[in-house]
């Protein structure tokens, strides 16, 4: 079966090695295991089924013997009918149980999303600071943006980690010219190297933020309306910096399922996930409150 997989799915095989000989009672299987098994099955890596063995058959036979008030074993014709009925109904029962298990796994995953999203949105904002936001990367370079104390982008630039001397010179110039209070770095590829470089030149606070969904936001109509003169890469860099300044106001612009605060988001019904996470955003906005004089329309639309 595995030989039929394409190259992309073949790379996923080691992730499911734990489930190659996996057995569990239905009442003991963990919700995340259900989602993992479903994903492996959908990829064609795993073959998942409920075990239909003689023990189950014997237990059901005893139940029906009691229902029929029989004191002895089934006669031949009744035994044959019982087995035929058992086989005919098994597929339907298996589908029903698998459906209930999948729903259990989805609900647990969504609860984790909700808890993590609420904690993220409730992060204390940091106003009144000049920020250097950096979206790290190797091939395309590290995109940089200076954001003023009002949250507006002022200057954009780029450094390359493989051109270290030039990168140091550019960073030193920015720190000298703009009196940076805090450096905010996305947690993408090259994050560690960028942090090390910045720490050599900057003695202030350096924070790493989750950049999940920044690329989704940067290409969205919301970002195009907000920054019509910027390209998508620069919009994403601004978003990274603003996530430190005011996480709630910035993250409400991003589709909640793209924020990256849970696991197996692609294995959960998208409509159901968006609906449940939408409730969390609304609850947080109404709990925190807003300043109606300067709140963006993206926050205002979540007010009850």
- What is the DSSP secondary structure assignment for residue 43, as one 8-state letter? H
Does residue 3 carry a pLDDT above 70?
A: no
pTM of the prediction? Answer: 0.74
> Rounded to whole angstroms, how far apart are CA atoms 144 and 159?
8
The highest-confidence range among 69-73, 134-138, 212-216, 259-263, by mean pLDDT, is: 134-138
The residue with greater pLDDT, 79 or 203, is 203
Q: What is the DSSP string of 172-216?
A: HHHHHHH---EEEEESSTTHHHHHHHHHHH--SEEEEE--TTHHH
Chain-wide mean pLDDT for the chain?
Answer: 87
pLDDT value at residue 29? 92
pLDDT, tens digit (0-9, with 9 covering 90-100), for 164-191:
999 999 999 999 999 999 999 999 899 9
Does residue 7 carry a pLDDT above 60?
A: yes
pLDDT value at residue 1? 57
Rounded to 5 degrees, what are φ and ψ at 87? -65, -40
pLDDT value at residue 56? 75
pLDDT value at residue 141? 92
Of 286, 244, 227, 237, which Cα lies nearest the Cα of 127?
244
For residue 259, give every residue at least 6 positions away whose Cβ sits within 8 Å of its Cβ, in sequence order, or none: 117, 120, 210, 212, 213, 251
**Size of the chain, expressed as the number of residues it contains:** 304
Question: Can you tell me the mean pLDDT for 70-87?
Answer: 80
Question: Can you tell me the mean pLDDT for 206-216?
Answer: 90
pLDDT, tens digit (0-9, with 9 covering 90-100), for 29-75:
999 999 999 998 888 888 898 887 777 777 787 887 778 777 777 77
Q: What is the DSSP string of 281-293?
A: HHHHHHHH---TT
pLDDT, tens digit (0-9, with 9 covering 90-100), for 135-171:
999 888 999 999 999 889 999 999 999 999 999 999 9
Domains in the chain (CATH in brackets) are 2-121 (no CATH), 131-300 (3.30.420.140)
Quick one: what percent of the chain has pLDDT higher than 90? 38
pLDDT value at residue 2? 64
Residue 187 buriedness (CB in 10 A; 0-12 / 13-18 / 19+): middle
CA distances from 217 to 155, 158, 175, 221, 240 (A): 20, 20, 28, 8, 11
Does residue 12 carry a pLDDT above 90?
A: no
């Amino acid at each position: 079966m595995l030989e039929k997989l394409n190259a992309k799915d073949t790379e996923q095989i080691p992730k499911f090695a734990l489930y190659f000989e996996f057995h569990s009672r239905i009442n003991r299987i963990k919700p995340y295991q259900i989602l993992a098994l479903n994903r492996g099955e959908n990829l064609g890596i795993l073959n998942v089924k409920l075990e239909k063995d003689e023990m189950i058959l014997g237990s059901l036979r005893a139940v029906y013997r009691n229902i029929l008030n029989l004191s002895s074993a089934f006669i031949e014709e009744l035994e044959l009918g019982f087995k035929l009925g058992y086989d005919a109904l098994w597929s339907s029962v298996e589908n029903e149980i698998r459906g209930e298990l999948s729903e259990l796994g989805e609900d647990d995953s969504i609860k984790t999303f909700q808890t993590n999203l609420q904690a993220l949105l409730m992060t204390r904002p940091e106003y009144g600071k000049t920020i250097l936001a950096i979206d790290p990367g190797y091939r395309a370079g590290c995109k940089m943006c200076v954001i003023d104390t009002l949250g507006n982008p002022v200057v954009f630039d780029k450094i390359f980690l493989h051109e270290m001397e030039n990168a140091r010179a550019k960073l030193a110039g920015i720190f000298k010219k703009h009196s940076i209070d805090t450096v905010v770095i996305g947690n993408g590829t090259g994050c560690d190297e960028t942090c090390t470089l910045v720490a050599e030149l900057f003695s202030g606070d350096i924070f790493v933020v989750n950049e999940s969904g920044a690329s989704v936001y940067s290409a969205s109509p919301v970002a195009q309306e907000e920054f019509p003169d910027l390209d998508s890469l620069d919009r994403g860099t601004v978003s990274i910096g603003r996530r430190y300044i005011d996480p709630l106001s910035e993250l409400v612009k991003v589709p909640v399922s793209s924020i990256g605060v849970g696991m197996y988001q692609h294995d959960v019904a998208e409509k159901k996930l968006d609906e449940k996470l939408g409730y969390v955003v609304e609850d947080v906005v109404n709990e925190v409150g807003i300043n109606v004089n300067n709140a963006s329309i993206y926050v205002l639309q979540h007010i009850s």
